[in-house]
Chain A
Amino acid sequence: MTDMVDVLIIGAGASGAAVAWSLSDTRMRIVCLEQGDWPNSSKFPSTGRDWEARQMSERSFSPNQRQAAADYPISEDSSPIKIANFNGVGGGTVLYTAHFPRLHPSDFRVRSLDGVADDWPIDYETLAPFYAENDRMMGVSGLAGDPAYPPKSPSMPPLALGRSGAALARGFNALGWHWWPSDSAIASEDYEGRGRCINLGNCIAGCAQGAKASTDITYWPAAVRAGVEVRTRCRVREITCDDDGRATGAIYYDEDGAERFQAAEVVIMACNGVGTPRILLNSKSRRFPDGLANSSGLVGKNLMFHPATLVTGVFDEEQDGHRGPHNWLWSHQFYETDPERGFVRGYMFEANRGMGPVLTALGGVEGGAIPIGEDHHRAFRQQFNRTTGLVILCEDLPEEHNTVTLDSTLTDAHGIPAPKITYTISENSQRMRDHATARASEVLRAAGAHTVRDQFLGVGGWHLMGTARMGADPSRSVVNEWGRSHDVKNLFIVDGSIFVTSGGVNPTCTIQALALYIADAMKQRLANLFD
């Protein structure tokens, strides 16, 4: 057993970093347990000629494909959408695209506005200052004045529009539809010691330049300077509690595989929408036989992804291809509910510049656009650097049958049960996806594409939300409106698990804004935090 700490954070990703940094000014003793290691940017794929090959192997966003020592297996045969993550300091921000849209004000009021799901216990205005603080810490490029959002001010100019952006812009303009340069956590100028983006184009496998804001190079250095300890290669098995129902700490395996116990006054879960319910469900005790913080029975339920589809257009003119950040332009034209469309809620388009030669070839062969054999070269050259697309992100409504549970047989290297994903795409999401695919095709045609194809992104389970939802009613939620467990007064959750609904945008900046908001709420209540 190690000395008692004031705050124990499980997970050093997007939210763990934000909450650690915010709490560090209290001068409490804070320890973060992280199952992975610090990333080494000098070894990121874009430093080598084999950058695309490595993106598909040891830097794959699929943990089941990657199978690194830091990864745990995921049972996902019962889901058409497969989990994407990264286990290490920085978490998913190391392998994300850094597309940084906020939720809309309406996302917090879906029950009131549209009669579906539940309202959040907080609203956009509550989170707005924390969005802004997070933008400053991460460094966000963008452009003020977007009519799709309440006023906000990105700290750097937008990323380059490029040939692909100009083509798409002309397509959107021809249809009279909204588009705007994305808020992107990629530095368009030198920012806080980080170099500006040099268009390496392989953001999703890690940014060797450091222009992309992953928390290992944003929040964590500041938090560590302020005294927070990050303990890497430490995999948590369970959160322990006493007979009074208070969390006492965590049992974990250290880098040598030895079982350890870390005692803590406060435990904060920051393991994402799959990792957090996994640990809570594995934290069974006499007092909590169904897992910790689970009196509502909702831990692991209401799993939400963003069902995603990539629609690509092939142009006669050269596009940006693999060069430049891939997600740099968005459209929220169809974000808000319109009953005429046959579904509730909506979706976002995020532009996708193109791909490198290997992925162009493999995607083309798989999709039938590029043959193997004699005609390969001609067909390849028609696609390579001439393809630009739109990714559709559909809002996914919460459904209790979409779950994270513990697999009955599969375990990780330490014998901890693996998470099992059970998920189906709803009728509403399917109708939304069909609508969005048709609209994306219209944009690409209007932009000048002569050929348009669509591909469901079953590999795209990046956004993991809803499995420990927040709410005021303990029978209908796992944590309260400031992230504290209803059942365990010194247990907090700050990751995507606490989302009530998913919105139709990438969740990272909201996850981090929530973590900052919860940290602020904790600091304001330090004297009576457990009341």
Chain B
Amino acid sequence: MLPFVQNIQSQAPEILLIGVACLQFLIGPFLLTEGQPVSRRLGRTWAVISLLALFGAIVIWIQSPSSASPGVVQSDSLAWFGRGVAILAGIVLVLINWDEVDDALSAEFHGVLLLLIAGVSLTAAANDLIVLFLALELVSIPTYVFLYLPRRAPASAEATTKYFFLSIVSSAITLYGFSFLYGAVGSTHLGAIHAALGHFPAAQSPSILLIAAACIVAGLSYRVTAVPFHFYAPDVFQGSHAGAGAMLSIIPKVAGFLALYRIIHFDSVDPFVRTSAESLRVWCETVFWLMAVASMIIGNVLALLQRDLKRLLAYSSIAHAGYMLVGLAAGHQRTSVGGMPALLFYLVSYGATILGVFGMLVLLKRGDRSVATIDDLAGLSQTQPAAAAVLMLLLFSLTGLPPTGGFLGKLNLLMAAWSQQTTSAEILAIVLAVNAAVAAAYYLRIVAVMYLRPAPAGVDVQASERLAAYVGIGLCVVVSVGLFFFPGPLWDVVAQFST
């Protein structure tokens, strides 16, 4: 078969998603007439089309073979995994944002969403610095629009602007790092880069390699909201719509960690000489270690102080990035519970949980405004028992309590850290445990408000009647709990990606 055809085949899900998105952009505006109200049905049609496209992508995804290829895009098992996570997250995002966006903007909104899902899945498949950068931009540029569309309020505009500027800077830094890497190695192909670094003796490696690594790690850490690249998160989360927060808390993280894994996958080819790959790996582990500790501590401590729900979740998202970085920082020794598999397991469980939490925030309204602060949830268990129970379960998954996937996620990370038998990894395990206890305080505060406080007089909190969102949140709950009882299938997939 021609390589070109093969490439098209291997990228079929992304091509489908981007194609449908383009159609939505192109056709959407022509169905609107100025000055006339738009029918709800039109808005929903776009959502249904998005869903169909995503389901189509799933069908192709399940059938797609996984084979490593030397081209600029891969279809290996990591690509397969990343694509699956992206598409499933996309489906949930479409469902929980059902009817949230203005019907006139529905086409653009859903088109943008499809684009960024395609971007994540392309990130997972990228095997070349340029494709990787393209894929990352395919995630971040639609994000700017996505953040602003659902709620065009001043706060939302401010959040979008903030995200826009900082994201541009981070992309620029990443690209700068890529250029240094290219300059040092002479190739943009990741396979070639890794091979070259694996042979360079460390003593002779050019110092610009370190600049390259620093820039790349900094740029990508922005996406995973690791300290010290987290400053945008609280304001952006607080300012934007809860549905956009759902996207922000998981999609950039998936893209960032997959990209990091693709690049930082240093294997020393030469066992006798200390190679550049080796020294870079040690350097990266040190940096990840520092960022993991800082993210966990700062994220959790600041989350303790928050009253605003979305701001609290932003800080908790920083803390969770810290937990996940433990997987990267823990080290490279091949053990039965590897750092990278633990990270990816945690990523999936966190993703399912946080999407559900934000989905609940989209649904819950007090009067005509959505719930904003923790106190808004007072007495939820009496007015909306089902909603309170679901939110409680998801929050306990974030805490890491059984019976939820969050518990096994934390357990795996702990075991991955201990299994390295180095002092630094042991410190990480201890910091992780202490932080899990700190985090329990603020998640429990939300649960306590929902269950132990009486509902205040006045307008009760209502959950919008919206079947699609119920389905989406239901999926999240099923995955969060299912990962506890049946973790095997997911672990079998992620266990392949040991560092």
Question: Do A and B associate with each other?
Answer: no
Chain A interface residues toward B at CB < 8 A: none
Chain B interface residues toward A at CB < 8 A: none
